[in-house]
């Protein structure tokens, strides 16, 4: 009886985790799809960009994610290893400006562009 209760608790936790991943992924997928089709809504976007992502900030986030994924046995030591110096160029690309204005003027547009670039990035398996 106790084993069944423990098994159900693990199943509930797994279900909550799966729901969380799907919810977060769905938002990213919708944003990327809207960007690909040139249909990002122009109202309600966050145009208050206060800082740009640096390569060091990005690598720190990747290292934290890598550690978490390895602990969950969802990644190996190969995850997140830089293959070259292109991450700096990718991050610089989303922060491009002309005449004092960002080419991707909202956080959502910058995120969608970053997702699109990273999605097309040829990452060796």
pLDDT at res. 109: 82
Mean pLDDT, range 23-48, rounded to an integer: 73
Radius of gyration of the chain measured on its C-alpha atoms: 19
End-to-end CA distance of the chain: 44
For residue 72, give both structure tokens: 């969950």
CA-closest candidate to residue 109, choices 44, 54, 59: 44
The residue count for the chain: 125
In the chain, what are the domain boundaries? 1-39, 46-125
Task: Look up the pTM and report it.
Answer: 0.54
Between 7 and 35, the more confident residue is: 35
Kindly report, residue by residue over 67-99, the tens digit of the pLDDT: 888 898 888 888 888 888 888 888 888 888 899
């Amino acid at each position: 009886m106790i084993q069944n209760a423990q098994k159900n608790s693990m199943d509930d936790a797994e279900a909550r985790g799966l729901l969380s991943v799907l919810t977060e992924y769905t938002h990213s997928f919708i944003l990327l799809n809207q960007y690909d089709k040139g249909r990002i809504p122009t109202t309600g976007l966050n145009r208050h960009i206060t800082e740009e992502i640096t390569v060091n900030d990005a690598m720190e986030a990747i290292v934290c994610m890598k550690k978490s994924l390895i602990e969950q046995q969802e990644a190996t030591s190969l995850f997140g290893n830089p293959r070259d110096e292109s991450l700096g160029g990718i991050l610089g690309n989303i922060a491009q400006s002309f005449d004092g204005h960002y080419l991707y003027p909202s956080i959502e547009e910058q995120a969608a562009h970053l997702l699109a670039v990273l999605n097309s990035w040829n990452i060796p398996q």
